[in-house]
Amino acid sequence: MWNKDKTDPNTPETSESEKEEAKTGFMSRLKKTLNTEIRLTPRKEITDADIQDTSTTEDTPKVGFFTRLKRGLNRTRQTFTNGLRHLRIGSQGLNAESLEDVETLLLSADVGIEATLLLTEKLQERAKKTGINDSETLIDALQEDMEDLLAPVAQPLQIPEKSDKPFVILMIGMNGAGKTTTIGKLAKRFQAEGRSVMLAAGDTFRAAAVEQLKAWGEHNDVPVIAQQTGADSASVIFDALSAATARGIDVLIADTAGRLHTQDNLMAELEKVKRVMAKQDPDAPHETMLILDASIGQNALNQAKQFHQNIGLNGISVTKLDGTAKGGILFAVAKETGLPIRFIGVGEGVDDLRVFEHNAFVHALLDRDDEAA
C-alpha cells in the first residue's frame, strides 16, 4: 500500500494544492463536489434488488451482475429485441421484407452500417442453409453472429500482478463522456482487487474537476496528485507518475480535460502528456483508454476512429449504456475499429461498471435468461 506520510522525502511537491486542501477542509470540498454535475453515488431510483448486486467482489453471485446488466440495457433491448420478437416472418421463412425489418432494427439501435450488413448477410446465409421460420430461431441465429462479432474485442484490461513500476492508465475523451466517473469506479475496483491506486488530476481546465477528484480520493482513501486550475496537465501527470513510482503504487489513473479529436491544440497537449510520461517509463501510459458515451450514437464511432488515428488507443470503455437505446454502438465500434473494449458503464453508481464480456452483453441485449453461453 502507498505511503501517505507527507514528510516522505520522495513525495514530490504538490504544495499549492495541499495547502489549499488543508485550508478548505473535506466537508466544504465535498459540498462543492456535490454541486457539480458529477455524481459517484447511486441515484435514488436504485432498489433493494440493486443493493444486493452492487458489490464488485468475487463472491457476488454472477446472476446479480447479469440482472444489473440486463436492467442497464433495458432501453436498447426494448427497441431492438422487442422489435425482433414482433417481426412477421412469412410462411416461406425469412424473406427480403423481414430481412429489411431486421436491418432497420439494427440500424435504429445504432449498430452501424457495416456491422448491420455483416449481420444481415449472415442471417441470409443461415436462412438459405437451415431455414429461419420463427422469431426465436431468428434471435438464436443473431445471438450467435453478434457474439462472433464482439468476441475479438472482448479483451479485458490486464494489469501485471507484480511490477516495480506503476501501471499507468490515461483516460481521454470528450467532455461529459464519463472519464472522471469511470476513474472513481475503476479505483474502487482495483482497490477491491488488492491493488494500491493513485489518481492524477490532469483535467486542469475546470476547478470543479480537480476538486471532484480530490474529494473523491479523500473519501475513498486514494491519494490524488493535483495542482491548481490552469496548471500544465502534462506536469501534473509527470509529478503524479514520480510520486506513484516513489510510493510503490500499483496503478496510476490520470484524468484529462474533455476534448474532441478536432481540437488540434488539445490533441497536441495529449501527445505532450504521453511524451513526458515516457521519459520516466518508456512503456507509460500502459493503457490509453478512450471513454465513449454510448448515447451519442454514431459520433462515438467517429471519435474512436479519430482518437485512435491521432493518439493511439489501447482500449475503449463505453459509458451510459443504461440511459440510451443506442447500445448497438458497441457492434459498430467493434466491427470498424477492432479495438479492445475494456469496461462498460451501466449506471452512475460506483459499482455500475462491468468488465466487457461479449456473451453476457449479447445475452442481456437479446433478453436471454442467463449469461451462460
Ligand X SMILES: Nc1nc2c(ncn2[C@@H]2O[C@H](COP(=O)(O)OP(=O)(O)O)[C@@H](O)[C@H]2O)c(=O)[nH]1
- Applying CB under 6 A, does 349 fall inside the site for ligand X? no
CB of 181 to ligand X, least distance (A): 3
- Applying CB under 5 A, does 120 fall inside the site for Mg ion? no
**Cα 170 from Cα 291, distance rounded (Å):** 10
The one-letter amino acid code at 240 reads: A
Closer CB to ligand X, 258 or 328, in the complex: 258
Residue 173 interaction partner, one of ligand X, Mg ion, none, beta carbon < 5-8 Å per kind:
ligand X
- Mask of contacts with ligand X, 274-293, x by CB under 6 A? -----------------x--
Q: How many residues bind ligand X (CB under 6 A)?
A: 22
Closer CB to Mg ion, 37 or 58, in the complex: 37
Closer CB to ligand X, 70 or 179, in the complex: 179
- Applying CB under 5 A, does 337 fall inside the site for Mg ion? no
Helix/strand/coil for 261: coil
- Applying CB under 6 A, does 217 fall inside the site for ligand X? no
Closer CB to ligand X, 208 or 231, in the complex: 208
CB of 304 to ligand X, least distance (A): 15
CB 247 within 8 A of CB 11: yes
- Applying CB under 6 A, does 83 fall inside the site for ligand X? no
**Cα 328 from Cα 364, distance rounded (Å):** 12
- Mask of contacts with ligand X, 293-332, x by CB under 6 A? --------------------------xx-xx---------
Which of 345, 361, 362, 363 binds ligand X (CB under 6 A)? It is 345
Closer CB to Mg ion, 209 or 270, in the complex: 209
The one-letter amino acid code at 142 reads: L
Residue 345 interaction partner, one of ligand X, Mg ion, none, beta carbon < 5-8 Å per kind:
ligand X
Q: Note every long-range contact of 79-83, with CB atoms under 8 Å and residues 24 or more positions apart, other chains counting.
A: 79/105, 79/108, 79/109, 79/325, 80/105, 80/106, 80/108, 80/109, 80/325, 80/327, 80/328, 80/365, 81/139, 81/365, 81/366, 81/367, 83/108
Give me Rg for the CA atoms of the chain.
22
CB 179 within 8 A of CB 125: no
- Mask of contacts with Mg ion, 195-234, x by CB under 5 A? --------------x-------------------------
Residue 150's nearest CA partner among 369, 363, 323 is: 363
**Cα 101 from Cα 78, distance rounded (Å):** 15
CB of 76 to ligand X, least distance (A): 13
- List alpha helices for the chain, DSSP H: 15-24, 26-35, 48-53, 62-72, 74-85, 96-108, 113-129, 135-150, 179-192, 207-219, 233-246, 264-280, 298-310, 329-337, 358-365
CB of 347 to Mg ion, least distance (A): 17
Residues 135-194 contacting Mg ion, CB under 5 A = 179-180
- Applying CB under 6 A, does 347 fall inside the site for ligand X? yes
Helix/strand/coil for 191: helix
**Cα 300 from Cα 222, distance rounded (Å):** 31
- Applying CB under 6 A, does 348 fall inside the site for ligand X? yes
Neighbour count for residue 122 (Cβ, 10 Å): 17
CB of 92 to ligand X, least distance (A): 43
Q: Which stretch binds ligand X (CB under 6 A): 34-42, 52-60, 155-163, 230-238?
A: 34-42
The CA angle 258-263-268, to the nearest 5 degrees, is: 90
Which of 38, 105, 139, 364 binds ligand X (CB under 6 A)? It is 38
**Cα 35 from Cα 335, distance rounded (Å):** 39
Residue 207's nearest CA partner among 337, 20, 336 is: 20
Residues 233-272 contacting ligand X, CB under 6 A = 258
**For the chain, what is the largest distance between any 2 Cα atoms, rounded to a whole number of angstroms?**
79
CB of 317 to ligand X, least distance (A): 9
Where do contacts with ligand X occur on this chain (CB under 6 A)? 37-39, 173, 175-181, 258, 291, 319-320, 322-323, 345-348, 352
